[in-house]
Amino acid sequence: MASLQPVRGTHDLLPDDMRRHQTVVDRIRRCAALYGFEEMATPIFEFTEVFSRTLGETSDVVSKEMYTFERSGDHITLRPEGTAGICRAFISNGLAQQVPFKAFYQGPMFRYERPQKGRQRQFHQVGVELLGIESPQADIEVLALAAQFLDTLGLQGQVTLEINTLGDSASRTAYRDALVAYLMPFHDQLSEDSKTRLEKNPLRILDSKDEGDRKIIANAPVFSDSLNDASLAFFEAVKQGLDALGIAYTVNPRLVRGLDYYCHTAFEFTTTALGAQGTVLAGGRYDGLIQSMGGTPTPGIGWAAGVERLAMLVDGVPDKARPIALIPMGDAAEALALPLANQLRRAGLPVDMAYGGAMKKRMKRANTVNARVAVILGDDELARNEATVRDLDSGEQSAVALDGLVQALTALG
């Protein structure tokens, strides 16, 4: 029988990996709290319509990448991203009266795509959503939060913020018409996916990875040519806010979002630190999303970041806490060790118990777990109501009374 392996596109988070992973989550949790974003969680699976309506039937995610199954007549999908679930929760829990609604989330997502460096079929994201604010100040705030979060991971100088504007609905309609007029003469040269999108959602063609499509798109009109005065003023306010905060950015006129509920600001933080340029955090404004899901018209903006990619870049991952190696020798010491370990742990001290073997074997275990000190209990120590405490860095050791052990070990730091 072949040895069991994880499913392709999934991976185990072993303890060292988990510390890097948890560092990313802990730092966004702290940063989000500074901006008033509270953590929430939605189910890992939702009715398929939650995603098909929000991501678009012609998107690659919906048409090719979702994990969908039927159960008791219901079509269920493992969530491929976090925004749709947050917005569904906003609607189904009647939170329209609680705006501005500021949420932070983290957890696993699922997409059936080709596994590659930093991208898996089960992956993890952190993200924020700000609902109920239509002014540019919301865009500036979520961008500032993203920049601060990436800074806490030590990524200053490794990431570039690219921004663009998609304008309001009128500007978007004007751009859509201009794009279709440009693309129609190239209809027969487009990929099959793009031919379908040309009829249903032409802006999605701008996201095409097909080389033939890319050559055609290179000379397509840009969004800025279709922006009205209100859209230009909104984008200018966002840029001025970033300038005031000292957040560097470049304007990328080709950065778009294909779905109709997106508007105004779109942005990505990219890096070349993982090889070819890749996106580590992306987001945008989606004022029409909640209404498209059947809710009260509510503006929104947010972003999401892949934890696996960030974990590859993260700086300053904390080392595993160095435990106290408790080494009892003899039956009497073994009997005492369990309540003593419990006492130390309740005092906030990590303890690694040596469960058997000769002293040499137990000391080897202490070195393997990188223990700070070894607390040795033998018949001689028990007769004196003491323990021998050996500093495993310096090799020095001393006798410490059992009733003063917690205090002495706490003082070691």
pLDDT at 320 over 50: yes
Rounded Cα distance, 364 and 203, in Å:
63
Residue 153: Cβ within 10 Å count: 23
Angle at 144 between CA 142 and CA 147, to 5 degrees: 110
Are 375 and 313 within 8 A, CB to CB?
Answer: no
AA letter at 14: L
Alpha carbon 108 to its chain centroid, in Å, reads 9
Rounded Cα distance, 214 and 190, in Å:
10
Please report, in range form, the residues annotated as the binding site: 81-83, 111, 125, 129, 257, 261-262
pLDDT band at 144 (very low <50, low <70, confident <90, very high): very high
Where does residue 114 rank: exposed (0-12), middle (13-18), buried (19+ CB within 10 A)?
exposed
Please report, in range form, the residues annotated as the binding site for L-histidine: 81-83, 111, 125, 129, 257, 261-262
Integer-rounded Cα Rg, in Å, for the chain is 28
Which token pair is 231? 């859209």
Residue 163: Cβ within 10 Å count: 21
Are 64 and 110 within 8 A, CB to CB?
Answer: no
- The mean of the pLDDT values for the chain is 89
Q: Where are the domains of the chain?
A: 15-168+228-313, 324-411
3-state class (DSSP) for residue 104:
strand
Q: What is the pTM of this model?
A: 0.86
User: Which range is most confident: 125-139, 161-175, 214-228?
Assistant: 125-139
Which residues on neighbouring strands pair with residue 397, listed in sequence order? 390
> What per-residue confidence (pLDDT) applies to 1?
45
Are 56 and 205 within 8 A, CB to CB?
Answer: no
> What per-residue confidence (pLDDT) applies to 63?
62
> What per-residue confidence (pLDDT) applies to 276?
63
pLDDT band at 56 (very low <50, low <70, confident <90, very high): low
Which token pair is 302? 């947010």
Domain 324-411 CATH superfamily? Anticodon-binding domain (3.40.50.800)
Are 181 and 269 within 8 A, CB to CB?
Answer: no
Nearest-CA neighbor of 61 among 86, 44, 74, 78? 78
Higher pLDDT, 277 or 43: 43
Mean pLDDT of 117-123: 81
What number does CATH give the domain 15-168+228-313? 3.30.930.10
pLDDT at 58 over 60: no
pLDDT at 328 over 80: yes
Strand pairing report for 351-353 and 324-328: parallel
Mean pLDDT of 6-30: 91
Mean pLDDT of 132-159: 94
Mean pLDDT of 123-145: 97
Which token pair is 111? 């997409």
Alpha carbon 373 to its chain centroid, in Å, reads 36
pLDDT band at 62 (very low <50, low <70, confident <90, very high): low
Q: 225: number of CA atoms within 13 Å, CB side?
A: 9
Residue 338: Cβ within 10 Å count: 12
User: Which range is most confident: 160-164, 207-211, 350-354?
Assistant: 160-164
Rounded Cα distance, 242 and 237, in Å:
9
Which residues on neighbouring strands pair with residue 192, listed in sequence order? none
DSSP 229-277: HHHHHHHHHHHHHHHHHT---EE-TT----STT-EEEEEEEEESTTSS-
